[in-house]
Chains A and B, each alone.
Chain A
């Protein structure tokens, strides 16, 4: 299968991954060269490097109209993977900006290196077309994230977060690996596109329906953990709370998007024959995820836990699109949803990080008077939270409409209605936070809350992005459509 000769298209297919490795090496070298007091500049190096990688990939590494399967069937160079890779790069660059002013993390070269390593894993996940590479990608993503979640070694909560994440992650990934091995055992194949043919033959001829459904369930456990759907969500609030805030943001956006990328590809490519089965499973998971996530968010007093439950709920909304396949809008709406959600949630965590850095607290009560202490941060928070709540003209509104529309188009009106009810619950707790920000006063009202340059830049870009996504739909909607249609 592997021709033994490396050709240009093969290089281009994994251009972002290659460049990320280079960037990792550069970060290490710069880390050695920089004097201790100027190490925060590593954040700029990482962020600028990631942006450069994005630009180079956009210029040189665009996938063609026809998807290509390369590297002996391991990697698929298509728009689905490409769009997701761009999302990961954006998220990583923003996270580097937000992390650089954190005292315990921003001056450490290994912090950025781990983040880059994790991003490489995500890129591999997005374009893997073979379950072995897929598994490697998932592990490459997860292991650095376990370390990053526990990066603040002096902080018990962070250590706990890292350890908890590791235990949950290791367990679910074992279960998933077992599912993969069953699939291989049944078919003797590892390539997703070959598996698709074999699996549908077996399924339609009635062989081993139960065993296949079992394998499907096991695989879903692993993916469910990555995107934190109920009942595999327990880790999320604790990990988000303990991890350094920019990393929580990274976990809830890029890592979740990567989980969706593999979920989309594996379900739609390898298991189309069983779409009735996984459709029903995912639809019920979606309802449980939205509802539980939103209800539990109502009682939170810690902003990071609140955002954790909110991000659980958002995974539920995105799943609506995945199960609404009839009508053809479904996958497009999932990808569109993830794009908007990624930008929005990064902004939300960015504000939390900027505030927590100064006040040292993540309690919602400590946000009292924020609109007086820093009108700019308050406005960024307003934009991010209203977008999460699905208010126009912000990104969250349009994509939520798309997701509901795809459900109605697929005749799943009940699912759209449940989603709509949930978004009302969501609105309630987002507004409760905004109320604290804008309405309540604190003793520190007159003390301005300093915002560093990197935060100002990152949040400025994200806020602009949220508004642009909500008002100028065409370019990224076309991206989502192209990505959705490039899967097969």
Chain B
């Protein structure tokens, strides 16, 4: 039997969390070292999975199956395809950089890393799960630590409100999706939660049309779809840096991914029946999110709403139901994940020194922290979809796909690119260039080596995918081909 790499990835953070909770609370350095060791291990394994995935063979690979509750057909069934393998890698990257950036957390770091790692386990689990029950299981594990992470270590002004709002939104969503998933389980009559088996069930068109919105929106809430996006900017802003990175970088992808995996792939006819209006909601996400981001004066809210806007592009890509659209959306999940993690890391570094996030009060930070400024510019270029960066590789196919099926929507959505450019350039100009306000002069220190490592890793990945798309696109393409077969070769 081959090495059970996926289950090791999924359970490494969980085991590390338990180990950390057993370390005495005052041994903070030991806790951090444990966290870093586990994150490094998980990162290497996810890189290994990524590069050992056989693109030519396609389909689900690294399959593992352990019976869990045979009478109800629940098993721990893990595997990745071309869409989820990059997301596993994304989680590995964000987890590793998140640990580096959280090194200086001094209030109960043991609990912080333990909760963060429980969350990471859940995220890995969702991306790797091929069993519907286990997908839910991991989905919920990924959601609830957010509450504690935001409420305890978040920004004092809004953390209680934001944490509760986020948790309730996501829990409502998951409950709705759960009811739909159970309906699928019983209607299929197979007595199994195995998603590969459920994929081959032809649910009746009425069933699919009825249940698709429940399942899709239940998950898409976590993907930040309009009008259920409201929790997300508040949550991003209130969360501590590493949690914002996880939240916007990975967790929103969990929502989009689960919507794809469960709603679109298992109820393809429902998707075809409903996508014409869902695409309009996603369009609102893209354009409205960008406009709101433009008028924010709080650095972190800009990034928060930019996430809403970019996740709208993911949804648009899915909703176009075209090969290019889904391909682009899947790459966008990875690209936006790394990009937004980078953004939030930068925001955190600036805030740690300046203790304010008001864009108008900041300025000249490129002198004090040149590397941070450079990293932000890289992220900004990705965000604008500049060729040579991963954003282009992701967004160009999305617009191509949209153009094929809904040209008008493509035109309207393209407005967002201009607006994105405007707010990114404004931040670059006001925060990093210009003159440094007097109260900061001499007080701002450059970031630590650990922070720099994180920034270099994140920006490097964005550039690598941008200049050498073959490192990712063929793999995603193989996953998308499989989805298209389920959609009836649309």
List chain A positions with a Cβ less than 8 A from chain B: 327, 371-372, 375, 379, 382, 386, 391-393, 397, 401, 404-405, 408-409, 413, 416-417, 420-421, 423-424, 427-428, 431, 434-435, 438-439, 473-474, 477-478, 481
Contacts and interface: CB of A to CB of B under 8 A. Distances in A.
B374 interface: no
Given A392-B137, A401-B178, A405-B182, A473 B160 contact: no
Contact of B186 (A386, A409, A420, A428): A409
Contacts of B137: 392-393, 397
B172 to A, nearest CB: 6
A408 B182 contact: yes
A149 to B, nearest CB: 34
Contacts of A372: 108
Contact of A431 (B21, B69, B147, B175): B147
B185 interface: yes
Contacts of A439: 151-152, 160
Given A371-B111, A434-B148, 6 more contacts: A409-B186, A427-B168, A438-B111, A438-B152, A473-B74, A474-B68
By Cβ-Cβ distance, the 6 closest A-B pairs, closest first, are A420-B175, A473-B69, A408-B182, A392-B137, A391-B144, A392-B140
B221 to A, nearest CB: 12
A386 B140 CA distance: 11
A438 B25 contact: no
A438 B148 contact: yes
Interface residues of B, number: 36
A301 B448 CA distance: 45
A404 B186 CA distance: 12
B179 A413 contact: yes
B21 A379 contact: yes
Contact of B164 (A386, A392, A417, A431): A431
Nearest to A382: B148
A423 to B, nearest CB: 7
Contacts of A416: 179, 182
Contact of A423 (B175, B183, B186): B175
Interface string B167-195: 11001100110110011011000000000
B69 A428 contact: no
A199 to B, nearest CB: 32
Nearest to B139: A392
Given A413-B183, A439-B151, A404 B178 contact: yes
Contacts of B141: 391-393
A371 B25 CA distance: 11
A408 B179 contact: yes
Contacts of B133: 401
Contacts of A431: 147, 164, 167
A420 B144 contact: no
Nearest to B74: A473
B488 interface: no
Interface in B132-159: 133, 136-138, 140-141, 144, 147-148, 151-152
A405 B168 contact: no
Contacts of A413: 179, 183
13 contacts: A375-B25, A392-B138, A393-B137, A404-B178, A408-B186, A416-B182, A423-B171, A424-B168, A424-B175, A427-B168, A431-B164, A473-B68, A478-B71
Contacts of A393: 137, 141
